[in-house]
Amino acid sequence: MSKNRFYLICMNFLIVLILCTSFINASKTINALQEENTSNFNLEYNDFSTWRWSDLELVSSESIDDSSAPSFAIDSLDQVHVVWKDISGLGGSTEEIYYKYRRPGLGWSTTEVISTEGTGFCTLPDVAIDIYDNVHVVWQDQSNYNSAGSDYDIFYKMWNATISSWTTTKVVSEESD
């Protein structure tokens, strides 16, 4: 799971303090994901290798409104998998969970709405990769999906790398008072 951390990087006597979400992949490259706020919140990605930062890449390119609460993980092929909450409504709901991945040298995939079965507010996504490069995503959702009730529940979905397909969303939390 990703965590916000402060990274102190010393380079040519210059000290840079960065607040972002980052991971080091198998190629020993630092990968960073950050929220940028101009007229609305966007997600941007860059990496640090061979002693320099790459140019910023817009991750939430299809978004027309705020993108926030990002999480990302890196698989065994150094592909970066990103999930976030977005309020653009591309999937028909007001707050949805989006997914995108980046293949080294090939760029970003098209954005997918993965909270498709939900109709309520979705928030706080997190992503993890298992040893088979399956992508596991959890988030909070207020939908009454599969009789889960209208309170927030934890939803789960997996990208099966073997068959290149998402599973059906599952409600994994118990009903609470």
pLDDT, tens digit (0-9, with 9 covering 90-100), for 94-130: 788 999 998 988 989 999 999 988 787 888 999 999 9
Residue 170 has pLDDT above 70, yes or no: yes
> Quick one: residue 172, left, alpha or beta (phi over 0 = left, psi -120 to 50 = alpha)?
alpha
Q: Output the pLDDT for position 133.
A: 95
Q: For residues 66, 1, 114 and 88, what is the CA-based torsion angle, rounded to 10 degrees? A: 0
Q: Output the pLDDT for position 80.
A: 87
pLDDT band for 7, please (50, 70, 90 cuts). Answer: very low
CATH architecture assigned to 4-171: 6 Propeller (2.120)
Q: Output the pLDDT for position 177.
A: 53
Residue 6 has pLDDT above 50, yes or no: no
Q: What is the pLDDT of residues 54-72, one digit of tens each?
A: 666 666 667 766 777 788 8
Q: Between 16 and 73, name the one with better pLDDT.
A: 73
Going from N- to C-terminal start, the domains of the chain cover 4-171
> Quick one: residue 150, left, alpha or beta (phi over 0 = left, psi -120 to 50 = alpha)?
alpha
